[in-house]
A and B are shown apart, each in its own frame.
Chain A
Amino acid sequence: MGYGLQIFTPTGQLAFDASMCSGGVCVGLVSIPTGGGTFLFPGAPTGRTPFVIFNDGSLRTTWSYSEPNGVPSFTFSSTPEGSSVGIYLK
């Protein structure tokens, strides 16, 4: 590529290239308890598309996203199994 941010390792390998990345950014890796819960991320970017990566084989909880007082907030429903998830904003 001919523009943007690139970062190389000490051996000259390309470790990061902003023009190739697909987004988003991770705002947290959290363990969702069986009772569900709300997770707030003050300082995280607002107005972005949220998505949640389920990753540990447990059954899904449903989730919703809002920005009360300008703070990204993810609310997860209760589930028979806890889940470990990655929370992203794109």
Chain B
Amino acid sequence: MTHGFEFYNPAGDLVIHSNSKSTQCIGRTTFVSTTQPYAVGTGRRSGYSTHTFATNSPVLWAIELPVGYRVGIVRSGYSGGVYTLEVYCGANPDANGFDTQYPVHVWAFSTDLGAPSSYGLQMFAANGQMTHDFAKPNISFPLNSSYSGNPVTLNSAVANPVVIGNSPYYDVSYTYRLPGESTSGYVKKDTKNFLLRSSNGNVGYSSGTIFRSGTNKGGKPPDSAFTSPSPFIIVEGSLLP
């Protein structure tokens, strides 16, 4: 570009551009309740925790990454200025792959920066709009980014990693109740990929069961695998509210 501010990391990736939008944390969600896996008709659905957050802006959700827990957003709805989230934080799966659900912290990130700070470095786009205000308390920049969706090894500088990103797919598999016996009926199972931080410092996708049907009669349909890697970024969570 012919003017403005650009900054690159040693790998040549763009980390600041004065015409891009920095994102800042605008608050933490309110935890409402945790629901464990539950029956739906003859089937069973995964559990989740309900969180709410009031804002008029599009936001990205940042989820804490406790070691050994699969995390993600299962569903979100927006009504009357309030987001209602079904948040997944699961571990210790049962025989059918349904995780037990645990509480987890979630924060909202927005490109709305509010009023300029009275000090520090600020940047403005060509249209005069402030795009960066480095004195804001919770601007976060990616410390790891998986633009391909493949696993990453956490940046050693990250004290408390928090992830932004979600795999927006689920896979469907069909299995006969008795292997190879098409007259025994079949069961449909939906699995979704959630992000898992391992004790070895890696963060990558790990699947959890989100639905298992009762027994259906007849020949089983073919499986459907929609999963492919989906981007995510890791930001520093130790300064978040």
Contact B169 A20 (CB under 8 A): no
The CA-CA distance from A24 to B9 in the complex, in Å, is 10
Contact A23 B9 (CB under 8 A): yes
Give min CB distance, A61 to chain B, whole Å.
9
Which of B18-26, B30-38, B181-189 is near enough to bind chain A? B18-26
CA distance A16 to B24 in the complex (A): 13
The listed residue with most A CB atoms (<10 A of its CB), out of B14, B127, B166, is B14
Residues of A within 8 A of B (CB): 4-5, 7, 9, 13, 15-31, 43-45, 48-49, 51-60, 83-84, 86, 88-90
Q: Any chain A CB within 8 A of the CB of B225?
A: no
Secondary structure dominating the interface of B = loop
Shortest CB–CB separation between residue B137 and chain A, in angstroms? 7
* Chain A residues near B144 (CB-CB < 8 A): 22
Q: What residues of chain A lie closer than 8 Å to B125, measured between beta carbons? A: 43
Name the residue of chain B whose CB is nearest to the CB of A28. B21
**Residue in B9, B22, B231 with the greatest tally of chain A CB atoms within 10 Å:** B231
Tell me, in angstroms, the Cα distance from A90 to B14 when the chains sit together: 5
B1-44 Cβ-contact flags toward A at 8 Å (1 or 0): 10000111111011111011111000000000000000000000
Nearest-neighbour CB distance to chain A for B90, whole angstroms, equals 14
Q: Which 7 A-B pairs have the closest CB atoms?
A: A23-B13, A25-B20, A51-B147, A60-B168, A54-B168, A21-B15, A43-B19
Would B14 and A45 count as touching, CB distance under 8 A?
yes
Cα-based distance from A19 to B126 in the complex (angstroms): 26
Tell which of B20, B155, B165 touches A22, judged by Cβ atoms closer than 8 Å: B155
Q: Is A53 a contact partner of B233 (Cβ separation < 8 A)?
A: yes
Residue of B127, B142, B169 ringed by the most chain A CB atoms within 10 A: B142
Q: Which residues of B contact A48 (CB under 8 A)?
A: 14
A64 CA / B7 CA spacing, docked (Å):
26
List CB contacts (< 8 Å) of B167-203 with chain A. Answer: 167-169
Known contacts A9-B239, A15-B134, then 17 further A-B pairs from the complex at CB < 8 Å, ordered by chain A residue = A20-B9, A20-B155, A21-B143, A22-B144, A22-B155, A22-B234, A23-B8, A24-B14, A25-B20, A26-B22, A29-B57, A57-B75, A57-B86, A58-B168, A86-B23, A88-B145, A88-B231
